Structure 1
Amino acid sequence: MDQDDLVPLSALQHYLYCPRQCALIHIEQLWAESRHTAEGRVLHERVDKPQAERRRGVRTVTGMPLVHLELGVSGIADVVEFHARDGAERAFPVEYKRGRPKAHRADEVQLCAQALCLEAMLGTCIEAGALFYGETRRRTDVAFDAELRQLTLDTITATRVMLASGRTPVADYAPRRCDACSLIDLCQPKLLNRSVSVATWLARQLQE
């Protein structure tokens, strides 16, 4: 697969959170900074620089490029720990997030996709990883079981189809999700919802 056709791993998290958000970022190339995204950016700056160190028998690599050409995804792993076990190193990906554990599985899917890339690159099976949340300052362990792996594969397919279409889904306002999104002013979900088409909304604005 051509490098330009690879789906960014971050797009999977965006898609599961909200397909429209994913399209605004990855199709329309829109972005808006908020306090939350700024805090997340600062948190990632600490781990995005490629480097490696060994401490207490664990080799830690930050900013590790990842790719899975068969699945057509690529990205950067915040942290990959290599633990010595049975005479070999076992990879353990760790993704850094600004907030706290969430009810949806978007973060888990992004982490699982990293594991799939590592499995293809290293020729090994990766059983688990972890999500580190800035608010709680704790790790949440994630097991890459069959259910999560299938959800990840399905999300890769759905994200690829949407990005290839070049079409941004219509808005679907959900207060809890939309009000926390940094793109809410660009998205206008309260105005451009499924019950009112863009053409209808524009017509109303012209009449007023």
Structure 2
Amino acid sequence: MKLLRGDRLRFGLAVFGLSALAVFVLAGCSDTAPESGNSPSAPSSSGPSSAPIPTASTPTLKPLPKPTKPFPTPAVTGAPESDAPLADRIRFAIAKQTQVTAGKAARTTVNCPGIDTADKPGDHTLKCTVTYAGQPFTGTLTVNAQPYTATYKFTSENVAVVKEKVVDAVLRAVPDAATITCTMQPVAVVPSTGDGIRCDVTTTANAVTPYNARISGDGKILVAKA
């Protein structure tokens, strides 16, 4: 009887061992497909973007207001009396014409060595230095004196002018001007011949065009494309 119990016990252990081995093998060799949630996804690729690239638009500028009145003629004071010495009257005449041509009243001195004796009968030719607002230029004065009358003339290759007058002339001559930039100081002495003063004009369409402003001896300004 004891022997039978021992055999049964050994048999039971053997069966248990086989069962355990079978479970282990099944677990290690399972070929069940993995769940779809655990499968790696293939990398996606996208081609180049076909969206249009925006382009910058050209800005439209505001036009400068056009002058409605002529450029003002400066009021020059300090005129001598009609019976003042000839030299004083000539100095004032030259100073006045210089300021009118320039476009603005400013301190002006006229120095012509020998002018104080130019009232003697005969022809006189003198060299003069005119200084307008601190800017000097030279010229020639001719005087024809008679016992009771005298005529005189002053000529120069240069003229003085203020920037405001030049800009005003360009603005009147160029349509649709939005900005005007002239290459000059607030007061300039320039030749009355040649190209004159360079001014760049930007139009309302944002286009830049160069112009030349030439100042004549009588103060007129001629504007033309450079």
TM interval, short-chain normalised: under 0.3
TM-score by length of 2: 0.21
Larger Rg: 2
TM-score, normalised relative to structure 1 = 0.22
**Greater share of helix residues, 1 or 2?**
1
Which structure has the highest strand share of the two?
2
